[in-house]
Amino acid sequence: MRYADELSQGAASGPVSPTREGGEHGSSRRSFIRSTSAGVTSVALGVGVAAAAGPAAGAAESHRPATARRAAVPLAVTPACSGHETPESIEGPLFKPNSPARGDLITPGIRGVRLDLSGVVYDTSCKPLPETLIEFWQCDENGDYDTSGFSLRGHQYTDSRGAYLLRTIVPRDYWGRWGQRAPHIHTQVQASGGPVLVTQLYFPDDTQAYGRDFAALNAADRLLNRACTINLTGPADGRYTGTFHFVITTKV
Ligand SMILES: [Fe+2]
């Protein structure tokens, strides 16, 4: 079951559950840690998903020892890791623990502008972090979150090079408790035994999807942090390719 409109969220008009942005953190941090524990047996699967990531594998290339092979790889214009922690954001009320272990969220019935997002999770010394848990959840092409199931929700673990790959769609904007929300992807990132980074990823102003003005949407979103903007290329062959590298602390 999906809920279409959270404008009634908090109103006394009926038992409508929110499907769009709210504000409280609630107990989800503990829930996420619980899901981490429950998901340990999924490490092998998660690593397998990420290991299959071509773009992610390329993203990790710059952290291999200097060799003649590496010398042939052009250096990135922007350093992959600044050492500064990825900024936090609110979690919202729609996180659900125990999501499926999967990096591919394109399940039957999912429509929208395709996005392949990859990157590396680093610690603050820019060391890649293997077997780091990443949870993703987002709304669909209509701006709706699946609150009864797990559509567009999933968790995975970074591979041996700290890389991940997410196959999904560009989410739609929506109007919620926090006003106009620009398209964003919710995420939580946690190295084993470390604290949970809760944040949201955004899209560049020139993104083209659903006929929406991303520049105006980004400008109107009071939660948006430009430091969490995905580096996007495309669209090509009907899909965007994006990269985003996380930097997290591993100390509680
Ligand atoms: Fe949201």
Residue 130 lies in a domain: yes
Q: What is the 139 CA–ligand 1 centroid distance (Å)?
A: 7
Whether residue 79 lies inside any domain: the answer is no
CATH number (domain holding residue 241): 2.60.130.10
**CA 64 / ligand 1 centre spacing (Å):** 36
Which residues surround the ion ligand 1 when the cut-off is CB under 5 Å?
21
- Residue 137's SS3 state is strand
Q: What are the two backbone dihedrals, phi and then psi, of residue 4, each rounded to the nearest 5 degrees?
A: -95, -25
The pair of structure tokens assigned to 116 is 């392949």
> Measuring CA to CA, how many Å separate 190 from each of 45, 63, 118, 157?
17, 21, 17, 10
Q: From first to last of the 252 residues of the chain, give the pLDDT tens digit.
A: 333 333 333 333 333 344 555 433 333 443 444 344 333 333 333 333 333 333 333 333 333 333 334 444 444 445 578 899 999 999 999 999 999 999 999 999 999 999 999 999 999 999 999 999 999 999 999 999 999 999 999 999 999 999 999 999 999 999 988 999 999 999 999 999 999 999 999 999 999 999 999 999 999 999 999 999 999 999 998 899 999 999 999 988
- Residue 192 placed within a domain: yes
Q: Does residue 17 sit within a domain?
A: no
Question: Which structural domain, as residue segments, surrounds residue 189?
Answer: 28-74+93-248
Where on the phi/psi map is residue 162: left (φ > 0), alpha (ψ -120 to 50), or beta? left
Query: Could you tell me if residue 47 is inside a domain?
Result: yes
pLDDT value of position 239: 94
> For residue 169, how far is the Cα from the chain centroid?
11
Residue 137: which of 96, 167, 108 has the closest Cα? 96
Is residue 64 situated within a structural domain? Answer: yes
- The CA 176 to ligand 1 mean position distance, Å, reads 9
Domain presence at residue 84: no
* pLDDT at site 80: 74
Residue 65 CA to ligand 1 centre (angstroms): 39
CA of 50 to the centre of ligand 1 (A): 24
- How much distance in Å is there from the Cα of 159 to the middle of ligand 1? 27
Burial label for 163, CB within 10 Å (0-12, 13-18, 19+), is buried
Structural contact between residues 232 and 107, judged by C-beta atoms closer than 8 angstroms: no
Confirm whether 87 is domain-assigned.
no
* Number of domains the chain is built from: 1
pLDDT at 61: 31
